[in-house]
Amino acid sequence: MSDSTVLPEAPFRTPLELREAPSGRVVDSAVDPLFVDRWSPRSFLPGPVPRELLATLFEAARWAPSSNNEQPWLYVYATDAWDRARFLEALAPGNRAWAEHAPALVFLFARRTTTDGRPYRTYAFDAGASWMSLALQARLLGLDTHPMGGFDPEKAYAATGVDPARYEAMIAIALGYRGPADALPVPLAGRERPSGRVPQATIAQEGCVAFTRAD
């Protein structure tokens, strides 16, 4: 790169020189606080999430990248008492105990084949990208999300009416405004804090990790 090369400016926010987030998490490199501030609480306030904010979350999810722009994700959500009760029945008992207080419950499904019927190798990866877009948009709006793998897929299909032959049930999501930790049962209240992460060097390595370069 020559000295005269002009690099483009960051289009949005510039990463801050953050070393410790308000949540207490410590980072290895400068990163926008949005990524460090997102975590998965279990305590939610009972107040409803406005419909226009829910629409914003799903709009963010809609614009996630996917292989050949297939967009294999399908979100089915519940906000009224009848639907929420059906969704809750699909959750594992340990998740149901706290998720019942979340004002919105969501199941994320991913289509197993492409639109022309071919096997879709990256459908789970693409659905995960969509989920992260939703989760980060939630934080920008002051909302929190908690993804759950603990649920019965067959009950999720029954509760939502989604075709199990076409879609795989990926995760359940509790969504709402964060509540106080002391609203949870004692064992859970003690766990109501952001988790750490392994060092950056363990998840990103330059070059081939199986061989050592010759001098």
Greater confidence, 23 or 94?
94
CB neighbour list of residue 149: distance below 8 Å, 6 or more residues apart: 171, 172
Greater confidence, 205 or 109?
109
CB neighbour list of residue 83: distance below 8 Å, 6 or more residues apart: 105
pLDDT tens, 72-130?
999 999 999 999 999 999 999 999 999 999 999 999 999 999 999 999 999 999 999 99
Query: At which residue do the structure tokens 């049962």 appear?
Result: 185
Domain presence at residue 112: yes
For residue 164, what are the domain limits? 40-180
Domain presence at residue 189: no
Domain presence at residue 204: no
CA–CA dist 106, 171 (Å, integer): 8
Binning pLDDT at 50, 70 and 90, where does residue 19 land? low
CB neighbour list of residue 30: distance below 8 Å, 6 or more residues apart: 15, 16, 17, 18
Domain presence at residue 27: no
What's this model's pTM, rounded to 2 decimal places? 0.88
pLDDT tens, 25-57?
888 888 888 888 899 999 999 899 999 999 999
Residue 12's pLDDT is 56
Domain presence at residue 79: yes
State the average pLDDT over residues 206-213: 71
Domain presence at residue 32: no
Residue 210's pLDDT is 67
The CATH number for 110's domain is 3.40.109.10
Residue 3's pLDDT is 57
Instruction: Give the chain's end-to-end CA distance (angstroms, integer).
Output: 25
Residue 20's pLDDT is 62
State the average pLDDT over residues 145-159: 98
Percent pLDDT > 90 in the chain is 70
Domain presence at residue 138: yes
Domain presence at residue 13: no
Domain count across the chain: 1
